[in-house]
């Protein structure tokens, strides 16, 4: 049976394996859980709140996740362009395409589908006294 942890791992795997960025050829490091320290650019997978009554009343499980992508604010133009590349709907740099393409998911994680339902705005944030630009991608997963 597929679990929340499995899907969290699957989202991270799909992004890491399905993303090819000309802006950052080393790839985007994706963490399944929140880390104490960031080494950007990187992404973290978070689970949104849910009403368990709705989960138990349905045959299928539907959960909302959020992928937060952080890019160091060392050169603001590069960071913004990098986050814009990830926000494209299609193409090799598209995080949306990477998540929604079932071929990018690990074989041991069984889901019906995952889709990106919202791409947030680029915002400036502080973590560990470092400045980052961050964008959120809301992901709906059904299994």
Q: Please report the pLDDT score of residue 23 as a whole number.
A: 56
Per run of 10 residues, the mean pLDDT along the chain (length 143 residues) is: 95 90 69 87 93 67 94 86 94 94 96 97 93 97 93
Q: Which of 11, 6, 21, 2 is nearest to 43 (CA)?
A: 11
Its pTM stands at 0.90
105 contacts 90 by C-beta, under 8 angstroms: no
Q: How are beta strands 123-127 and 29-31 bridged, if at all?
A: unpaired
In the chain, what are the domains?
A: 4-142 (3.30.70)
| Residue listed under structure tokens 């349905």 | 58
Q: pLDDT value at position 126?
A: 93
Distances (CA, A) of 57 to 51, 54, 62: 11, 5, 11
Question: In degrees rounded to 5, what are phi and psi of residue 30?
Answer: -120, 125
Q: What is the pLDDT of residue 57?
A: 57
Residue 103 per-residue DSSP state: G
């Amino acid at each position: 049976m597929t679990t929340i942890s499995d899907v969290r791992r699957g989202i991270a795997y799909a992004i890491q394996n399905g993303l090819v960025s000309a802006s950052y050829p080393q790839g985007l490091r994706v963490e399944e859980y929140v880390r104490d320290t960031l080494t950007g650019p990187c992404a973290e997978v978070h689970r949104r709140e849910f009403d368990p009554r709705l989960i138990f009343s349905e045959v299928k499980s539907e959960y909302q996740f959020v992928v937060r992508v952080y890019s160091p604010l060392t050169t603001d133009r590069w960071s913004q362009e990098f986050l814009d590349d990830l926000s494209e709907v299609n193409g090799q740099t598209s995080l949306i395409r990477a998540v929604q393409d079932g071929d990018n998911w690990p074989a041991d994680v069984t889901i019906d589908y995952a889709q990106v339902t919202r791409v947030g705005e680029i915002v400036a944030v502080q973590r560990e006294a470092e400045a980052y630009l961050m964008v959120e991608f809301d992901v709906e997963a059904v299994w």
